[in-house]
Copies of this chain bind each other. A is one copy, B any other.
Amino acid sequence: MNKRPQKTVTALDAITADLVAVLVAVTDGQPRIMTIEHAAALPSGPFQFGHRSLQTGLRAWVEAQTGHPLGYVEQLYTFADRGRSGDPDAPHRISISYLGLTREEEGREGADAQWSSWYDYFPWEDHRDGPPAILAKIIAPKLKAWARSAEQPALQKTRWRRAAITFGVDGHEWNEELALQRYELLYEAALIAESVREKGGEGVVPGRAMRGDHRRILATGIARLRAKIKYRPVVFELMPDEFTLLQLQRSVEALAGRLVHKQNFRRLIEQQDLVEETGAMAADTIGRPAKLFRFRQGVLAERAVVGTKLPLSRT
């Protein structure tokens, strides 16, 4: 892959950079992410000399590891940690993470690559059937215990307040965009396998762990995507060429982790001229057949800049 001769870089400031992808698709109304290493890591690899740009490098790694091409991509965040590796003499290692959106394509996964529901990693994030049971039964009590474990009463109060706001308990409303804050709070409270490894502690909360800080990166991607679908027409990247409005709605709901008022959803989609009828109707459906739609190519150019709106109701 590298045609250049090997170079020796003599520098205090030399570091290595990893490229990490949160590659999202929605299939059968479930938000799914591409994983490797038996669903315990995100597609990733070092930024190398031969890569022309960060995105090029990322695309190369994802395609090599998963056989799946990368479509729409946007940068998420850059993390740095020497602490994790344990060795204080180790050079800095930074991770540059990206969010990618695609459609699942049959039989293109690499040996070790597979799609997994993102709710496997964050079971408390799915509120489509109402607040999940683990929230009240497991998470809230553990967070309360964590808050109480603080020395000073003031800190106890601050902790619980923060927990209540981010998790939407104790009179506060659930806010699906706070996925990252929730993960970080659980991490801080040592209720996450990844932080227990580091800090010690026991009794983690349900949810599949990942290697390194990949789960944090995934949380970052979820939060970003949940915020973004509301004002940028990015759902498009996840849909097939033709779809019904209900399918579109289900995709949005899958990502947001909450339900949407059907009639209002249609109203908003239609009044924004985002879609046009194909003329055909959906086949093989229960109930009244629905019209098929496609996204209007023309609008995409302007909307990519200007924006869109999506309703996310509370029922």
Contacts and interface: CB of A to CB of B under 8 A. Distances in A.
B301 A158 contact: yes
Given A94-B54, A96-B78, A175-B306, A13 B48 contact: yes
A49 B13 contact: yes
Q: Give the number of times this chain occurs in the complex, counting copies.
A: 2
Nearest to A97: B78
B12 A15 contact: no
Contacts of A53: 80-81
14 contacts: A7-B89, A7-B91, A9-B9, A12-B49, A12-B50, A13-B46, A13-B49, A14-B15, A15-B16, A47-B94, A158-B301, A161-B301, A161-B302, A175-B305
Interface string A293-315: 00000000110011000000000
Contacts of A162: 301, 305
A6 interface: yes
Interface in A234-279: none
A15 B165 contact: no
A92 interface: yes
A15 B47 contact: yes
Nearest to A158: B301
Contact of A9 (B11, B54, B81, B302): B11
Interface in A148-195: 158, 161-162, 165-166, 175, 178, 181
Nearest to A5: B89
Given A6-B12, A75-B77, 5 more contacts: A4-B89, A15-B15, A49-B92, A165-B302, A165-B305
Closest 5 CB pairs of A and B: A9-B14, A14-B14, A13-B46, A78-B78, A12-B49
Interface string A41-68: 0000011111111100000000000000
A8 interface: yes
A75 B158 CA distance: 26
Given A49-B91, A181-B305, A301-B158, A8 B7 contact: no
Contacts of A285: none
